[in-house]
Amino acid sequence: MKTLTLVVPCFNSAAYLHRCLDSLVQCGDDLEVLVVDDGSHDETGAIAEAYAERFPGTVRVIHQPNGGHGSAINTGLEHATGQYLKVVDSDDWLDVEALGRVLDSLRTMVADGADVDMVVSNFVYEKVDKRNKKAMRYRGVLPTGRVFSWDDVGQFGPSQYILMHSLIYRTDLLRECGLRLPEHTFYVDNLYAYVPLAHVERIVYLDEDLYRYFIGRSDQSVNESVMIGRVDQQLRINRMMIDHVGRVRRQPGISMGLCRYLIHYAEIVSAVSSVLLVRAGTVEARALKDGFWREVERDDPWLYRRLRRRSVLGQITNLPGRPGRGISMLAYRAAQWAVGFN
């Protein structure tokens, strides 16, 4: 059994797949690279097959009809043979030296029987035409050098959270928790980084800048104008996250540290949803925003107050009237500059 499977979901990725795969195949035979070609119409499949021929002990390729990002991750999880699993989007890449060190750490954990459920590492925003790189690190929030639980986790900053890019899961944990991501839906990476957490008990933080998150392409799903056009899917994922934390927080004996983090993540995603709808600037978009929050208030009044009334992000992004919308946009632009996202 391999130590780590890297699942690479691909759709029409020919322009950048070489860069991604070149960063994944240099760390020996203890690594599985599982490329899932999600119905591409370009040379993605042929490129992936060429790597499988060059690295037969490392790279495998699965071709499937188009089902979206979630479907490709589901397929990767079904076929993974590694003890641990990480998703690497085909336009991103990993730092080769950091990957080698992370693999060494994973091997040590396995050899010691540490039974770690989740490994967190850093990621770096690689923005088009930007020399200065913004890194998402967790120093001072997550303990280093030991296995810890949710109750050992500190306070996350307002724009600090654990994205899919930060995560390595124990493969069997994902299977045991029944993770199944929606198909033909954008932004399911939020669910991937959210739903399994209630099943995670043993965590390790490796302070390595492992993942390079490439942003700034005009056609990218996290481009602001693209997100506004797909805001219905953003709201769908947002609502699924709120429903999930609403169930988890009611479970007896649930970790308070886990609940704090799940609410924090839901705050950030809800704030993004609100600002996108404000940014759209239409009567229909404002009605969608108001309807979204009415549904949350109806279904979980406590969580509504926590996300919208007691949260600084919730308050800033839902101020009334034209001045309020202006303040919301200023806060959003400041976050874009500070963190480095689109």
In 10 A of CB 63, how many CB atoms? 16
Helix, coil or strand: residue 37: strand
Indicate the burial class of 178 (C-beta count within 10 angstroms; 0-12, 13-18, 19 or more): exposed
Helix, coil or strand: residue 68: coil
The DSSP bridge pattern shows strands 118-127 and 167-170 to be antiparallel
Q: Write out pLDDT tens, residues 68-111.
A: 999 999 999 999 999 999 999 999 999 999 999 999 999 999 99
| pLDDT surpasses 90 at 132 | no
| pLDDT number for residue 260 | 96
| 279 token code pair | 């940014």
Averaged pLDDT score across all residues of the chain: 90
Indicate the burial class of 31 (C-beta count within 10 angstroms; 0-12, 13-18, 19 or more): buried
| pLDDT surpasses 60 at 27 | yes
Q: Write out pLDDT tens, residues 136-177.
A: 999 999 999 899 999 999 999 888 999 999 999 999 999 999
Q: What is the mean pLDDT of residues 317-324?
A: 55
Percent with pLDDT over 90 in the chain:
74
| pLDDT number for residue 338 | 43
Q: Write out pLDDT tens, residues 269-308.
A: 998 888 888 888 888 988 999 999 999 999 999 999 999 8
Q: Are 213 and 93 in contact (CB under 8 A)?
A: no
| pLDDT number for residue 327 | 53
- The span from the CA of 342 to the CA of 225, in Å, is 10
